[in-house]
Amino acid sequence: MSDNKQQPTVHAQSPTKGIEDAMKRIKHRVVVFSGKGGVGKTTVAVNLAYAFAESGLKVGLLDADITGPNVPQMTGLVGGLGTQGGMIVPSEVNGIKIISIASMVEGGTPIIWRGPLRSKVIDQFLGEVQWGDLDILIADLPPGTGDEVLTIAQHTSPEMAIVVTTPQEVALIDARRATNMAKKLEIKNIGIVENMSSLICPHCGEQIDLFGSGGGEKEAKKLDVLFLGKVPIDPQARAEADNGRPIVLQSPQSPISQAFIAMAAKIRETLK
- Asked if the model's pLDDT at residue 11 lies above 60, the reply is no
The reported pTM is: 0.90
Q: List beta partners, residue 89.
A: 82
Task: Report the alpha-carbon distance of residue 177 to residue 144 in Å, rounded.
Answer: 8
Query: Quick one: CA torsion of 233, 215, 41, 255, rounded to 10 degrees?
Result: 30
Give the least confident one: 9-13, 114-118, 143-147, 205-209. Answer: 9-13
Q: What is the model's pLDDT at position 35?
A: 83
Q: Give the pLDDT confidence score for residue 92 in this predicted structure.
A: 96
pLDDT tens for 205-259 read: 777 777 777 889 999 999 999 999 999 988 889 999 999 999 999 999 999 999 9
* Position 106 confidence tier, pLDDT thresholds 50, 70, 90: confident
Q: Is the pLDDT of residue 2 over 70?
A: no
CATH for 15-271, among 3.40.640.10, 1.10.730.10, 3.40.50.300, 3.40.50.620? 3.40.50.300
Q: What are 4's strand-pairing partners?
A: none
Q: 160-212: per-residue pLDDT in tens? A: 999 999 998 888 999 999 999 999 999 999 999 999 988 877 777 777 777 77
Residues 6 or more apart whose CB falls under 8 angstroms from that of 267 comprise 30, 48, 160, 162, 191, 228
pLDDT, average across residues 141-154: 88
How confident is the model at residue 3, as a pLDDT?
Answer: 42
- Rounded to an integer, the average pLDDT of 30-40 is 91
